[in-house]
Amino acid sequence: MHTLNRTAAVPVEAAPRVTRRTVVAAALGNGLEFFDFTVYSFFAALIGKLFFPASSDVGALMLSLATFGVGFVARPLGSVAIGAYADRAGRKPALVLTVALMALGTGIIGFAPTYAQIGIAAPLLIVIGRLLQGFSAGGEVGAATTLLMESGDAGRRGERVSWQMASQGGATLVGAFVALTLSRALSPEALHAWGWRVPFVLGLLIGPVGFYLRRHLDDTLPHAAAGAPRGRARIPWRQVVAGTLLVIGGTSTTYTIVFFLPSFLTLTVGMPASVSLLSGCAAGAVLLIGSPFAGRLADRVRRRKRLVGVTCVASAVLVLPAFYAMKMWPSVGTAVAVVIVLIGLMTLSSPAGFVMILDAFRPEVRAMSLGMIYALGVTIFGGFAQLIVGAMWRATGSFYAPAWYVLGCSAASLVGLALFAEASDVEGSR
């Protein structure tokens, strides 16, 4: 199989010194996205009853989940618009914009009147809130991850980028803790009346903090790239396609194993509903604790492409035996162990994959290129994973339908990895 022409290393200007504030400011928006994702998923049934009129609770829930999916559809648009802004005006102004848009979307959801109060305008407000969140999230990943990669010592890029993944894990844990605490501390009436809004208000409060921290960041876009005409640096679209294939293995694993699997196991083998919360917490803990170590590993290995390939093959090999174990020994412990192993493999390779992709694009198109790659992978193979896997399960009746989906996506990632042209390291060390 022929690969693309190897991309030459891109000389960069001396990067500003990285500080803890830089890491916190860059990772905060991504964390807020996953916090909102967790609490919306937790309260989806309640939001459905309050905002989406339907003849049944199931119909209201489906409308609520469909509205949540609207945010994924908006991600590719945000990745292009905000990514182009980050590559033209700078990473800092783009990050200030994304945190403002995300906070606005969160605030709209948190303070929206219900259907009983304002009628059809209520679900429209939820849709607008989700569109704003999805649009900002689409630009957030490219701009924030690029800034982390370009800041500070080139020998610790993987470690800095890993905090994007760690922030997802931490936010998932915090979101699950807040949602669980509210559901247990409040009566059903209080939760229905106002309690479900509390997590969104808390998320909204993060906005001003992120806005302040990002306003005081040092930008990393080389001066030669800022304001450069678009024609000077063209996006290598074959690299974008290969990169999109590359990320869908990890994306499909996350959204299938963490968000679809618990409900699937409850329906098929009768596991208790608590498996959903415990699986989410296990995945969050693996990301939070494991990502910094994976980042350091990415900085030490000489061939990041090989590391990504090994973990991708391992996931493909283990996913069917993992589902066999859950079928033969159905328990919460077995499900949590499967989540830890498969999410652990995804975590191990993610920082290396991010740095490898970022290395392959020039600074003038780097944020938009990564943003598009991640947004397309997440939207198609993550956001629609539950719909696709559910359809596969209904069509075949097979308990292994989710495993085959993850296996197929892992195979596609291996194709993308083979096609992807890894750039020479800036220091010539790889």
Q: Would you place residue 232 in the very low, low, confident or very high pLDDT band (cuts 50, 70, 90)? A: low
Over residues 272-302, the pLDDT tens digits come to 877 877 888 899 999 999 999 999 999 998 7
Residue 11 lies in a domain: no
191-195: long-range pairs with CB below 8 Å, 24+: 191/46, 192/46, 192/49, 192/50
Residues 144 and 203 in one domain: yes
Over residues 240-249, the pLDDT tens digits come to 999 999 999 9
In the chain, the N- to C-terminal Cα span, in Å, equals: 22
Neighbours of 253 (CB within 10 A): 27
Residues 212 and 247 in one domain: no
Residue 143 lies in a domain: yes
> Percentage of the chain surpassing pLDDT 70?
88
Residues 187 and 241 in one domain: no
| Residue 410 contacts residue 309 (beta carbons within 8 Å) | no
CA separation for the pair 306, 369 (Å, rounded): 22
| Residue 145 contacts residue 137 (beta carbons within 8 Å) | no
The helix/strand/coil state of 362 is coil
Q: Would you place residue 60 in the very low, low, confident or very high pLDDT band (cuts 50, 70, 90)? A: low
Over residues 6-44, the pLDDT tens digits come to 444 444 444 555 567 788 888 887 788 778 877 887 787
CA atoms within 13 Å, Cβ hemisphere of 50: 21
Residues 289 and 199 in one domain: no
pLDDT reading at 209 higher than 90: no
Closest C-alpha among 384, 404, 383 to residue 392: 404
Last residue of a domain, one of 179, 198, 223: 223
pLDDT of residue 10: 46
Residues 104 and 200 in one domain: yes
Question: What would the mean pLDDT of 71-81 be, rounded to a whole number?
Answer: 92
Question: What would the mean pLDDT of 95-100 be, rounded to a whole number?
Answer: 90
Question: What would the mean pLDDT of 187-194 be, rounded to a whole number?
Answer: 90
Q: Which two tokens stand for residue 208?
A: 């001003």
| Residue 95 contacts residue 144 (beta carbons within 8 Å) | yes
pLDDT reading at 266 higher than 70: yes
Residues 378 and 347 in one domain: yes
Closest C-alpha among 287, 295, 279 to residue 336: 279
Dihedral of the alpha carbons of 117, 121, 127, 128, in degrees to the nearest 10: -110
Last residue of a domain, one of 183, 202, 223: 223
CA separation for the pair 10, 29 (Å, rounded): 27
Residue 44 lies in a domain: yes
Q: Would you place residue 428 in the very low, low, confident or very high pLDDT band (cuts 50, 70, 90)? A: very low
Residue 228 lies in a domain: no
Residues 217 and 350 in one domain: no
Q: Would you place residue 65 in the very low, low, confident or very high pLDDT band (cuts 50, 70, 90)? A: low
Residue 186 lies in a domain: yes
CA separation for the pair 398, 6 (Å, rounded): 42
Task: Count the domains in the chain.
Answer: 2
CA separation for the pair 357, 347 (Å, rounded): 16
CA separation for the pair 253, 255 (Å, rounded): 6
pLDDT of residue 59: 62
Residue 137 lies in a domain: yes
Question: What would the mean pLDDT of 361-383 be, rounded to a whole number?
Answer: 91
pLDDT of residue 37: 76
CA separation for the pair 147, 226 (Å, rounded): 14
Question: What would the mean pLDDT of 335-356 be, rounded to a whole number?
Answer: 94
| Residue 158 contacts residue 351 (beta carbons within 8 Å) | yes
Residues 293 and 171 in one domain: no
Among 35-44, 98-107, 331-340, 347-356, which is the least confidently predicted range?
Answer: 35-44
pLDDT reading at 359 higher than 60: yes
Residue 229 lies in a domain: no
Residue 82 or 268, more confident: 82
Sequence-distant (≥ 6) Cβ neighbours of residue 189 within 8 angstroms: none
Neighbours of 367 (CB within 10 A): 33
pLDDT of residue 323: 95
Residues 147 and 40 in one domain: yes
Q: Would you place residue 224 in the very low, low, confident or very high pLDDT band (cuts 50, 70, 90)? A: very low
pLDDT of residue 214: 83
CA separation for the pair 94, 143 (Å, rounded): 7
CA separation for the pair 320, 310 (Å, rounded): 17
Residues 57 and 79 in one domain: yes
Q: Which two tokens stand for residue 108?
A: 């709209």
Residues 66 and 172 in one domain: yes
pTM for the predicted model, two decimal places: 0.85
pLDDT of residue 343: 95
CA separation for the pair 347, 344 (Å, rounded): 5
Residues 202 and 337 in one domain: no
Over residues 131-153, the pLDDT tens digits come to 998 899 899 999 999 988 888 77
Q: Which amino acid is at 182?
A: L
Last residue of a domain, one of 162, 190, 223: 223
Residues of the domain holding 135: 17-223
Closest C-alpha among 169, 413, 172, 176 to residue 292: 169
- DSSP string for residues in 307-320: HHHHHHHHHHHHHH
For position 205, which CATH number holds?
A: 1.20.1250.20
CA separation for the pair 95, 86 (Å, rounded): 8
Burial class of residue 185 in the structure, from the number of CB atoms within 10 Å of its CB (0-12 exposed, 13-18 middle, 19+ buried) = exposed
Residue 361 lies in a domain: yes
Over residues 397-407, the pLDDT tens digits come to 999 999 999 99
pLDDT of residue 241: 94
